[in-house]
Structure formats: structure tokens, C-alpha cells
Structure 1
């Protein structure tokens, strides 16, 4: 069972949502870092595609398999 807490104005958040916020921030930071690499870098282009996919998965209500895919993507990126 997921724990939740109250945050100002009666908004209820869960630990999962906090984790998603932290993950989103980490992904956005990595995207900024990738944008400093040369535009023709195939490494940067691939990594940006993966980062976009992660952001998309974070923003959705996910199934168990999508949660697992998201965790594998994070593990592969080591961010």
C-alpha cells in the first residue's frame, strides 16, 4: 500500500509522485547536458530520444510492464 501525505491547500501526494518529480528533474538536467554536445553527435541524439521516452513514461499512468521498462531505462542511463 502506498503512503501519502498532505502538502498545503489540501493537496495529497504520494511517495511515487515525489519519486517521479525527482526523476523528471534528473532527466531534464541530463537533457540540458546533452544539448551542450555537438548537434551531429549520434550519441547525444540517441540519448535524447531515450530521455524523451523516459519523460513520456513518467508523465503517464503506467502499467506494471511500463514501470519495469522505465526502471530499466533509468538503470541503463545511470543518472
Structure 2
């Protein structure tokens, strides 16, 4: 899963004065994946952790809502 190498990506981002806010949540998921015994799995295995997190947070709830869409801002959008 390359969780150890991800630390280097975060350190390099910070050294280059680039925000690591996008990759930090991914590092947290990777650490959870390793703790769950998925150290040798690929990144797609993290999807199951996201589903489990959502189920735990919304126990007993059902929703028919679609997830929100993200709109990109820019001169040609």
C-alpha cells in the first residue's frame, strides 16, 4: 500500500511549501488499512474502510440523497 512512502510525499510537499491538506486524509486511511491487516493490499482496498466508516457513522440511517457534486471554478467554467 506504500503507507511508509506516503510520509515522504508529505514531507516533500511541506519542504516545497506546497499544502499537504489533500494528502493528509489519505495518509490517515492508509494507516487504518495497515492496522486492519491490509498492508500488502492496493489502494483500492481503502474503499472498504470508507464504507465501514460511513456505516458506523450512520448506523440505522437510510438516505436516498445523491452525494453533493463539486463544481470547479475558473474563467472557462
TM-score under structure 1 length normalisation: 0.36
Q: Which is bigger in relative contact order (C-alpha 8 A, separation at least 6)? A: 2
Which has a greater percent of strand?
1
Which has more radius of gyration? 2
